[in-house]
A = this chain, B = another copy of it.
C-alpha cells in the first residue's frame, strides 16, 4: 500500500518557534512540506516564505486556512491569538498542532473544547513536547510495564539559566511548571486535584519582585504527591529532571550524562543551556508523529482536554502562589470524546 500524499502545512506565527518549525518540516522530518506561513508582520512572513519553494505568505490565518494547498495547521503564534486561529481551523475541519498553551486560561480552553465537541471528532494536538522526549518516553514505558508497582510520588526539577526580560512570578507557573503539570498527568495517568506553592527566600539573582525559586506541590486523584522545584535563574544551566517513586522502586531521568571529562581537578560534563538544546529531538519527534498521524487521519498526541486541564491547574497554581496555602483544582466533567482508550 502506498503512503498518503505529502502533508501541506500552514504555519501560523513565524517568530523563533514558528520559524524553527518551518525549518523542521522542510529540512528534518519526512512526509510534510510548508505551503503557507502566516504572520501579522507581513515582512517577516514573506522573508520566511521566500526560503521555501512553493510557500505563500499570509497575514490572516483564515486566508491561509482557506487555501487549496493547505491540509493542516501548525499554530506557533502568541497564546492570546490561539483561540481565534483554532476556531477558524475547526471551521475548515483542519487538523491542528497548537503550541502550548492551548489558550491563556481555562474558560477559553473550554470554548475550544466545545467547538471540537461540535466537530464530533478530535482534530487538535497540543504541543506538550516532553511526551516525545526519549527519556520521558523510556520512563513512561517503564511505568507501563508495572515492574516498579504503582507510582506514589514524583519529584521534578526544572531549572533555567536566567529568566527572559519581563518575566513575572506567575510565569514560573504558567510557562514553566505547565510542563510538569502535563508530565504528571501523562506519566501517572492522574488528574491534579490541588496545588500548593511554597516560597523560599528568593535568590539574589532573581529580578526584583520575582518569587524565584518556587516549590510547587500537586496532589492527584490517584493519591500521588508530586513536587516541582522551579528555579528560572539558577545560573548554571537548563536542567529538567524527574524521579518517579513507586511501590517497588524508583526511576530517574534528566541527568544528561552523555560525555564525561576529567579536567582541572574535576570530573563531569556540560549542562545544556536552553530548552532548544535539551529538547531538540523531542520537537523533531513530536512534529514527525503529528505528521504521520495526521496523514493517517488520526490524532495520537495530547489534545484539547489536556490543554484545558493544564490551564485549570495553572489557574489554581497562580492563586496558590498569590494567596498562599493549598488551592483545589476544579475541572468540568470529561466528555466521552476524550476518554483514554
A204-B247, A269-B267 as given contacts; A258 in contact with B134, CB under 8 Å = yes
Which of A11-19, A23-31, A96-104, A315-323 interfaces with chain B?
A23-31
Provide the bound-state CA to CA distance between A237 and B245, in Å: 13
- A267: B residues at CB distance < 8 A: 237, 255-257, 268-271
Residues of B within 8 A of A247 (CB): 203-205, 235
Q: Is A69 an interface residue (CB 8 A)?
A: no
Contacts A138-B258, A198-B225, A200-B153 given; does A264 touch B249 at CB 8 Å: yes
- A275, CB-defined interface residue at 8 Å: no
Residues of B within 8 A of A260 (CB): 251-253, 255, 268
CB of A229 closer than 8 Å to a CB of B: yes
Complex interface: chain B residues within 8 A of A223 (CB): 200-201
Number of residues on chain A facing chain B (CB within 8 A): 78
Q: How far is the CB of A141 from chain B (nearest CB, A)?
A: 10
Min CB distance, A212 to chain B, in Å? 9
| Measured CA separation A269–B257 after assembly (Å) | 13
Q: Which of A58-66, A75-83, A143-151, A333-341 contacts B (4 or more CB under 8 A)?
A: A143-151
Closest residue of chain B to A219 (Cβ to Cβ) is B198
- Contact yes or no, B258 A237, CB < 8 A: no
Q: Is A118 an interface residue (CB 8 A)?
A: no
- Sample of 29 A–B contacts (CB below 8 Å): A2-B52, A3-B53, A28-B30, A29-B30, A139-B259, A148-B261, A152-B200, A152-B203, A153-B200, A153-B231, A198-B217, A198-B219, A199-B225, A200-B223, A201-B223, A201-B224, A215-B217, A236-B263, A237-B262, A237-B265, A249-B262, A252-B261, A253-B258, A255-B260, A257-B257, A261-B268, A262-B271, A267-B268, A281-B281
